Amino acid sequence: MSTASIDRQTIEAMVRNALRQSASPAPRTRSGNPPGWVNGKPNLRVSISARHVHLTDEHVEILFGPGAKLEPEKDLYQDGFYAAKQTVMVVGPRRRMLPSVRVLGPTRPASQVELAFTDSISLGIDAPVRHSGKIDGTPGCVLVGPVGSVQLHQGVIRAARHVHLNDADAEFYGVQNGDMMQLKIVSHECTTIFDDVLVRQDSAAKLEVHIDTDEGNACHLDAASEVQLLKISSGCACKH
């Protein structure tokens, strides 16, 4: 398993978005499309978030040099967010490391490392499942860039499943910010239902579920024949 191949996979996974039509009820007519809607209805996208790093402005300058800024390389589906050209090395205890982890922009008030469970095992870090930004008491690590390094005292998490959606999406599904939903991925021989999908509502968001690489691999998302996002109280995804 070469360093080069790991990094390419990371980048490939980062930009891979499994776009599928939702198995949604009949479309409603609306005047104008909310963000992400297609033909008058939500357009469910399920994306795999590969391991990545968020940085503060200060840490960007320490890692990449005085005056350095994140440089967008590829836009993410959510408007205003991007995969940066920059990568960092993430070093865990016992000097295990991931050599090249992509930085996502824009910068944030706190730096944060989001790993799949597989990544955290290989790093030797017991990363807890947390929602983005909820990093109190989480483990730290060392980030190494071409110019300098940063000791994070906390911020290494396994990002919990969540769905970004806007107000029209929320109304469509009958959910609100903070609710939990269910995601069903129908795949040959490995259909999987993910509970605990947190609703993150924002008026500018486009409907998109984020799962990590372990979850995407467990259900073979790339080969999925159908994806369904379900309000939990509206019945289960199991068709019983």
- CB-nearer residue toward its own copies: 119 or 169: 119
In the complex, minimum distance from the CB of residue 134 to its own copies, in angstroms, rounded to a whole number: 10
Q: Contacts with its own copies in 179-198 (CB under 8 A)?
A: 182, 187-196
Residues 29 and 40: beta-carbon distance below 8 Å: yes
- CB-nearer residue toward its own copies: 20 or 220: 220
**81 residue type, one letter:** F
Say how far apart CA 9 and CA 85 lie, in whole Å: 15
Q: Which of 56, 117, 148, 200 binds its own copies (CB under 8 A)?
A: 117
- CB-nearer residue toward its own copies: 20 or 69: 20
Dig out the tokens for 181 from the structure: 């939903």
DSSP the chain: --HHHHHHHHHHHHH-EEE--B--SSPPP-SSPPTT-BTTB---EEEEE-SEEE--HHHHHHHH-TT----EEEE-SSTT-EEEEEEEEEE-GGG-EEEEEEEEES--SS-EEE--HHHHHHHT--PPEE-TT--TT---EEEE-SS-EEEESS-EEEEPPEEEE-HHHHHHHT--TT-EEEEEEE-TTT-EEEEEEEEEE-TT---EEEEEHHHHHHTTGGG-SEEEEEEGGG--SS--
- CB-nearer residue toward its own copies: 53 or 168: 53
Convert residues 65-104 into a mask of x (bound to its own copies by CB under 8 A) and - (unbound): -------------------------------xxx------
In the complex, minimum distance from the CB of residue 177 to its own copies, in angstroms, rounded to a whole number: 17
Which of the stretches 23-31, 32-40, 64-72, 227-235 binds its own copies when contact is defined by CB under 8 A?
227-235
Convert residues 130-149 into a mask of x (bound to its own copies by CB under 8 A) and - (unbound): xx------------------
Q: Which of 24, 118, 154, 201 binds its own copies (CB under 8 A)?
A: 118
Q: Which of 23, 110, 204, 236 binds its own copies (CB under 8 A)?
A: 236
Residues interacting with its own copies, by CB under 8 A? 1-2, 5-6, 9, 96-98, 116-118, 121-122, 124, 129-131, 160-161, 182, 187-196, 212-215, 217-220, 232-233, 235-238, 240
